[in-house]
Structures are given as C-alpha cells and as structure tokens.
C-alpha cells in the first residue's frame, strides 16, 4: 500500500492562509471538493470536525492528520496542505501546525485507513522530511519527497 495511490497533485495545497484549525480543515475540504476528490464537502467537514472533537489529530512537531470515515468519498483520499502560518491544533507538544494530511475514507474500508494513518505517522517522524515539506515549492516536489521517504521506509 503506497501513499501515492491515494494522493495526487490535485490534492496538494501550498501556503494556505488561515487563522485556526477549523478554518484550515474547511479550506482544505473546500479545495478537495473543487478538485472533485469528494462528493459532499459539508458532510465531510462535519465528520472531520466530529472526529476532531473526540481528540486532537495534532500529532506533534507541527503536523496534524485530521481524518474521517465518510460517505462523502468513494475511495480513500489524502490531501496535503501546508499552512503559511502555524495554527493551534491542540497537539501535546503545543507546536503550531503547518503540515496537514487530511484523510477521507469510505465507511467500510477501515483496514487500509488504519495502515495509511500508521504509515504517515511513521514517515512524518523524520525531521528531514518535515523540513523538506516546509520548503517544497510545488505539488510535484511534495509528491517526489513523499515517494522518496516511502521508498526509504519500505
């Protein structure tokens, strides 16, 4: 299972300007809807917000992985967003979040969903990858960085 099966250049949003985590989630979901990656932006947003209320998806070191199982997608989809300025996601380390991987998965595909969450968490522990994602200039470069990191961690 490879990340690039679920994320493409139309799902990469760089230097988004937002003021808080709800605005970040909303902006990413709306961008996903414009790219035709999800069917129902309002439903998906609601489900991501509900999941976030259960506990923060801020995993530390400036990263958040908000996610939801939803009927708003036909297949697992990942969006990557880099925020212009960090926002509070309620992470344990209190670091502001600038790198967000937002996942949507159909209600009935739990196994793949958990594997992708685990893989992302593992890859993003690497300081070098995080630093390089913060400096990437294009969506293509983001994809190349993720592919390289995934290849090194197979």
In which region does residue 126 sit, left (phi positive, over 0), alpha (psi from -120 to 50) or beta (all else)?
beta
Please report the pLDDT score of residue 44 as a whole number. Answer: 95
Which tokens in the block code for residue 93?
A: 């380390």
- Reported confidence tier of residue 146, pLDDT bands at 50, 70, 90: very high
Alpha helices in 19-138 (DSSP H): 21-34, 41-54, 110-123, 127-135
- What is the average pLDDT value for the chain, to the nearest integer? 92
For tokens 């908000």, the residue is: 66
Residue 154 has pLDDT above 60, yes or no: no
Residues 103 and 117: beta-carbon distance below 8 Å: yes
Tens-place pLDDT, residues 95-114: 999 999 999 999 887 778 88
- pLDDT of amino acid 153: 63
Average pLDDT over residues 20-38: 95
Token pair of 55 as six digits: 């506990």
Distances from the Cα of 152 to the Cαs of 4, 7, 68, in angstroms?
14, 18, 28
Report how far Cα 109 is from the mean position of its chain's Cα atoms. 18
Give me the catalytic one of 21, 45, 67, 69. 67
Kindly indicate the confidence band of residue 52, based on its pLDDT and cuts at 50, 70 and 90: very high
Q: What is the H or E stretch that residue 103 is in?
A: strand 97-106
| 67 noted as active-site residue | yes
* Domain assignments of the chain as residue spans, ordered by start: 3-152
Residue 48: is it exposed, middle or buried by C-beta count within 10 angstroms (0-12/13-18/19+)? buried
State the CATH class of domain 3-152.
alpha beta
């Amino acid at each position: 299972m490879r990340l690039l099966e679920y994320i493409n250049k139309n799902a990469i949003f760089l230097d988004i300007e937002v003021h808080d985590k709800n605005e970040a989630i909303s902006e990413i979901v709306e961008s996903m809807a414009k790219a035709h990656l999800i069917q129902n932006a309002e439903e998906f947003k609601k489900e991501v917000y509900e999941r976030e209320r259960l506990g923060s998806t801020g995993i530390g070191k400036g990263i958040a992985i908000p996610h939801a199982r939803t009927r708003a997608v036909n297949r697992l989809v990942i969006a990557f967003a880099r925020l212009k300025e960090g926002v509070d996601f309620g992470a344990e380390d209190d670091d502001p979040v600038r790198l967000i991987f937002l996942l949507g998965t159909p209600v009935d595909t739990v196994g793949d969903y958990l594997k992708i969450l685990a893989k992302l968490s593992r890859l993003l522990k690497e300081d070098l990858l995080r630093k390089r994602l913060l400096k990437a200039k294009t969506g293509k470069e983001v994809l190349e960085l993720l592919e390289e990191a995934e290849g090194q961690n197979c």
